[in-house]
Amino acid sequence: MRATVDRAGLDSESRTPHIKIRRVRKGDLSKVRDVTEQAFGDYFERLLGTRPRQVFGGAQYVHHRWLMEPWGCFVAEENDGKIIGAVVAVMWGTVGLVGPLAVLTNYQNQDIGQQLLRAAQEFFDENRAALTGVVTYPSSPRHLYLYHKFGYKPKSLVAIMIRAVDRLPAGGPPRAAKSSLAVRRFSALEESKKKSMLLKVRKITNGIYRGLDLGKEIEIVDGLALGDTFLLESGRELVGFAVVHTPGVSEAPLGSLYVKYLAIDRALRKAEHFDHFLSALEHVAREMGLGRLIVPVYSAYFAAYQTLVERGYQIDYTMVRMKRGKQEDYEDPDDFVLDDWR
């Protein structure tokens, strides 16, 4: 006999149960992580034919993002309080980013993903986002359709690139020939100096996109010791910075040092600066006994992409960036920026 409920998520009379979208509370966090990892795990299994042992290679996205931006995190909850979907959104100053978004497999195609996206969009509107973005799977008609329905236009590819560093020659940190470049850690600054450093960082990001601000990402990495922000300096001048995660409870997969964001000041941009910074980060990874450095690069930043290829970085996989709002194609191909919108 055919079961009356042939699709979980529908009740015994095949009605979609009442779904409530509400903000994430502290007590939801592990459930939100489970739901996200289950939904992505199922998706990867369908895509690849096997289920990865660890869905994001050990990277985590929920707890610290909620601490960083609690008002941007929503769940979809069934009548009985069961969490069946979630979305996480964050404001980087004037730029709003959405993801991860996940709905349990048995509840998909019942408008729940769209209700969650609507909540994220309202959060962006409340915060007057000038531009909002997402990265998704370029070969998935469903994903492209879903975000397009919300006004997001598909743009260029994002390459998640990797370089093995355990085979690099041993030795001290790189020294640039005839240059005064030095790399410091944000965490090593006196508390009173951190605020003024954040202002210098904001000046760099503001030059890339008006109002872009990575302050929250830097503060959460510092506050929770998820990694560190590295500062590339020439004397007292800040040339660039990189927000970097180390494995544990961060967005770094196991065994990898991961660059969440890196930018070289537009006024000081030179391939040598970017190259020097990368080699310093490779050195950090090696010193920590990590096997590889993972860097995301948006292909519109062509000079950065080119430099990475020349340094021996290989593409692990690609995603597509989708955007909605003002100045969608703001990227300058000569800027050295690595920015992960996942």
Any contact of residue 243 with ligand COA (CB under 6 A)? no
How near is the Cβ of 293 to ligand COA at its closest, in Å? 24
Binder among 19, 32, 39, 243 for ligand COA (CB under 6 A)? 39
Confirm or reject binding of residue 320 to ligand COA (CB under 6 A).
no
Q: Which stretch binds ligand COA (CB under 6 A): 49-57, 100-108, 307-315, 331-339?
A: 100-108
172 scored as a contact of ligand COA (CB under 6 A): no
CB 36 within 8 Å of CB 87: no
Binding residue (CB under 6 A) for ligand COA from 96, 99, 133, 296 = 99
CB 322 within 8 A of CB 278: no
Residue of closest CB approach to ligand COA: 113
Identify the residue among 9, 113, 227, 240 touching ligand COA (CB under 6 A): 113
Q: Does 14 bind ligand COA (CB under 6 A)?
A: no
φ/ψ (deg, to 5) at 56: -110, 30
Q: Which of 68, 94, 340 is nearest to 205 (CA)?
A: 94
Return the residue of 19, 24, 146, 257 that touches ligand COA, per CB under 6 A: 146
| Closest CA relative to residue 38, chosen from 102, 93, 100 | 102
Stretch that binds ligand COA, among 105-113, 154-162, 252-260, 284-292 (CB under 6 A): 105-113
Could you say which of 26, 145, 169, 235 contacts ligand COA (CB under 6 A)?
A: 145
Q: Does 316 bind ligand COA (CB under 6 A)?
A: no
Residue 110 makes contact with ligand COA by CB under 6 A:
yes
Q: How far is the CB of 54 from ligand COA (least distance, A)?
A: 16
Neighbours of 313 (CB within 10 A): 21
Q: Select the residue interacting with ligand COA from 95, 103, 198, 220 (CB under 6 A).
A: 103
Task: Give the C-alpha separation, 138 to 159, whole Å.
Answer: 12
Q: Which listed residue (101, 243, 280, 300) binds ligand COA by CB under 6 A?
A: 101
Residues 6+ apart with CB under 8 A from 213: 92, 93, 94, 202, 205, 206
| HEC-encoded secondary structure of 169-208 | CCCCCCCCCCCCEEEEEHHHCCHHHHHHHHHHHHHHHHHH
- Residue 219 is encoded by which pair of tokens? 């503060």
CB of 110 to ligand COA, least distance (A): 5
Q: Which helix (H) or strand (E) holds 231?
A: strand 227-234
